[in-house]
Amino acid sequence: MKSHVKVAVIGGGVVGCSVLYHLAKLGWTDIALIERSELTSGSTWHAAGGFHTINSDSIIAALQGYTS
C-alpha cells in the first residue's frame, strides 16, 4: 500500500465507493479507498437500497435522479 496519495476516501459504503468511482472516471490515479473491514461493512451499507419519495432539497433530488 502507498504511504502517500492525493485523495484518501475513508469509508467503503455507497458514498465512499461512489466518490472513488467518480474520481477515477475523471482520470485521477493517485487515490485510495480506506475501509476498516470489507466494503459495505459499515453503517452506510443499507444506503445503497434506499429510496426516498419525498424530497424538499433540490440538490438531494438531483443526486437521487442521477443515481436512478
- Per-domain residue ranges for the chain? 7-67
Q: Which pLDDT does position 6 carry in this prediction?
A: 94
For residue 35, what are the CA distances in angstroms to 16, 31, 54, 61, 62? 9, 13, 31, 28, 27
pLDDT at residue 26 in the model? 96
Alpha helices (H) along 3-57: 14-25
Residue 16 has what pLDDT?
Answer: 86
Residues 4-59: pLDDT tens digits? 999 999 888 878 888 999 999 999 999 999 888 777 666 554 554 555 555 667 88
Q: What integer pLDDT is reported at residue 54 of this predicted model?
A: 57
Torsion sign across C-alpha atoms 9, 14, 17, 21: negative
pLDDT recorded at residue 38:
76
Here the cell at position 6 is: 492525493
Q: In terms of pLDDT, which residue wins out, 3 or 40? A: 3
